[in-house]
């Protein structure tokens, strides 16, 4: 997400992380025609959200509902926010490396992984002309979570049980029960 001359713009983009002594950098690519590229070229600050498990919490799951009834619905969630400065990259070699790394990671669990090298070179070169690379030097990383930690143990157990019954096992597993 960026806020610039194009307004507030958000895109769903897979990122990879490059860790070094100089700092962490998020890497991705966008279509060259994407309106957000203009703001990124201008060095717009960026906010990248990485969402973890999340789920609706029904007030009927709270033990305290039966005691005093003073409960309301809410949402449990886990999210990490990365903020940083941006740089647009037009270098075809950088783009090819970024695409190859992203594809390798996404294909790694497949029995016969596809690789960029499986496509004809001239086709790949033409595709690279339609995208730009993006690097975001991470200046700030912040985790936020609300997993019923402010509720009594009895309410937390009720929420965990309710989430499991609703099929939200990962969200249920985050609730502190001790």
DSSP character string of 88-150: EE--HHHHHHHHHHHHHHHHTTSSS---GGGS-HHHHHHHHTTEEEEEEEEEEEEEEEESSTT
Q: What single string gives the DSSP state of each residue in 42-69?
A: TT-EEEEEEEEEEEEE-GGG-HHHHHT-
Cα angle: 157, vertex 160, 164; to 5 degrees: 140
- Give the β-pairing of 131-146 and 7-9: unpaired
User: What pLDDT band is residue 83 in, cutting at 50, 70 and 90?
Assistant: very high
Q: Is the pLDDT of residue 144 over 90?
A: yes
- Token pair for 40: 């990124």
103-142 confidence digits (pLDDT tens): 999 999 999 999 999 999 999 999 999 999 999 999 999 9
Sign of the CA dihedral running 100, 103, 108, 113: negative
Residue 92 confidence (pLDDT): 96
At 34 the pLDDT is 96
Q: What pLDDT, in 10s, does the model give residues 94-105? A: 999 999 999 999
**Averaged confidence pLDDT in the chain:** 95
At 155, list the tokens: 């309410």
More confidently predicted of 6 and 67: 67
Say what the pLDDT of residue 169 is.
97
**Cα separations in angstroms, 122 against 35, 47, 117, 127, 128:** 27, 35, 11, 9, 10
The model carries a pTM of: 0.84
């Amino acid at each position: 997400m960026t806020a610039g001359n194009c307004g507030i713009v958000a895109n769903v983009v897979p990122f990879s992380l490059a860790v070094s002594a100089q700092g962490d950098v998020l890497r991705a690519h966008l279509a060259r025609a994407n309106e957000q590229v203009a703001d990124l070229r201008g060095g717009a600050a960026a906010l990248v959200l990485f969402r973890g498990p999340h789920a609706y919490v029904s007030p009927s799951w709270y033990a305290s509902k039966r005691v005093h009834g003073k409960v309301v619905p809410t949402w449990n969630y886990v999210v990490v926010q990365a903020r940083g400065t941006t740089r647009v990259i037009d270098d075809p070699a950088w783009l090819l490396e970024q695409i190859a790394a992203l594809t390798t990671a996404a294909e790694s669990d497949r029995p016969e992984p596809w690789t960029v090298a499986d496509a004809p070179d001239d086709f790949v070169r033409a595709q690279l002309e339609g995208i730009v690379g993006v690097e975001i030097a991470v200046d700030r990383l912040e985790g936020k979570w609300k997993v019923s930690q402010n509720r009594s143990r009895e309410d937390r157990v009720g929420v965990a049980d309710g989430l499991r019954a609703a099929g939200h096992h990962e969200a249920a597993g985050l609730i502190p029960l001790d």
